[in-house]
Amino acid sequence: MAQAIESPRSERVEPALASLPPTRRALLVALKKRGEATVDDLAGAVGITVSAVRQHLTGLAAGGLVVHRSVRAGPGRPRHVYRLSSGAEALFPKDYSEVTNELLSYVEDEDPQVLERIFERRRRRRVDGALRRLSGLDFDHKVPELARILDEDGYLADFHRLGDGSFRITEHNCAILGVARRWGLACSTEIEFIREVLPEAVVERVAHMMAGAHVCQYEVRLRAGRGAGRRTRATGSRAPARHDRTPRGAGARRSPPA
């Protein structure tokens, strides 16, 4: 049975904003433009009554899209001043991937090897952080924790255990899709990341967004023994077993699939 990982992240930006009722969408846009606003300010900006604004703000606050602070100005009850939450900020378009791709293209023009080292440094940082969190866990607990790590990284990940004892990790969102479409190296470092933090497992990608699937999915199976073959970097094919393998947890880098 699939086990979902709760995530504080918002859904995809523009469609989520467009899916809101028109009045609530207008209130969010008004707050985005003003930064902060009172109920009276918003009533004037949107053209509805103060009472209606309060009702909509209550719903938006319950959905985690609006927060407020109290401001006291003279005698009487303090007023609430509203602003967008960090989750609501994510609803508005931010084309980070285009800027990132532009900068990476400049790096590649200067020195392609530097570009490879950039992706490697990102992979290394993620591996080091994941290994710290997975340290001391047995395999059956590592996989759920890894799914949480991937979810926190924006991949909307979950996992479920198959009848034969293996696991399937599913990423319903690609946090680096815009970059991966331009740089294949981004995808290869993703699967290398999973293989390196689970050195005791065989990890195969069984669904891939870049190949047309609506998810990226990985089958994770505990190795039968130390004699299991490794993958060569150049071809992704099985190589003869090594008896001088890197100790468990040391994280020898593995190659992308063929």
pLDDT digits (tens, 9 = 90+) for 177-194: 888 888 888 888 889 999
The predicted pLDDT at position 7 comes to: 35
Domains identified in the chain and CATH numbers: 13-89 (1.10.10.10), 95-239 (3.30.1380)
What does the alpha-carbon distance between residue 81 and residue 31 come to, in Å, rounded to a whole number? 10
Provide the sign of the torsion angle of the four alpha carbons 75, 80, 83, 85, taken in this order.
Answer: positive
- Within the chain, residue ranges assigned H as helices are 13-18, 22-34, 39-46, 50-62, 86-89, 96-110, 112-134, 139-150, 177-180, 184-197
H-state helical runs in 111-234:
112-134, 139-150, 177-180, 184-197
Q: Are 89 and 67 in contact (CB under 8 A)?
A: no
DSSP H/E element including 219: strand 216-222
Contacts for 5-8: CB closer than 8 Å, 24+ residues apart: 5/147, 5/148, 5/151, 5/157, 5/158, 5/159, 7/151, 7/152, 7/156, 8/87
What single DSSP character describes residue 213? Answer: -
* Each residue's pLDDT tens digit, 98-130: 888 888 999 999 999 999 999 999 999 999 999
Ramachandran region of residue 91, left (φ > 0), alpha (ψ -120 to 50) or beta? Answer: alpha
Work out the angle between the directed axes of helices 22-34 and 39-46 (0-180°, nearest 10). Answer: 120
- What pLDDT, on a 0 to 100 scale, did the predictor assign at position 54? 95
Of 206, 220, 250, 255, nearest to 234 by C-alpha is: 255
Regarding beta strands 167-171 and 216-222, do their DSSP bridges make them parallel or antiparallel, or are they unpaired?
A: antiparallel
Distance CA 62, CA 82 (A): 13
Q: pLDDT value at position 255?
A: 35
Do residues 52 and 46 lie in contact, with contact meaning Cβ atoms separated by under 8 Å?
no
Are 249 and 128 contacting, i.e. CB atoms less than 8 angstroms apart?
no
Confidence at residue 76, expressed as pLDDT on a 0 to 100 scale: 76
Q: Supply the pLDDT for residue 62.
A: 92
Q: Residue 198: its pLDDT value, please?
A: 97
Phi, psi (rounded to 5 degrees) for 37: -160, 150
Partners of 126 in beta bridges: none
- Along the 258 residues of the chain, how does pLDDT read in single tens digits? 444 343 333 333 344 777 889 999 999 989 988 889 999 999 999 999 999 999 999 999 999 999 999 988 777 788 899 999 988 877 876 667 788 888 899 999 999 999 999 999 999 999 999 999 999 999 999 999 999 999 998 888 999 999 999 999 999 988 888 888 888 888 888 899 999 999 999 999 999 998 989 899 999 999 987 333 343 333 233 333 333 333 333 333 333 443
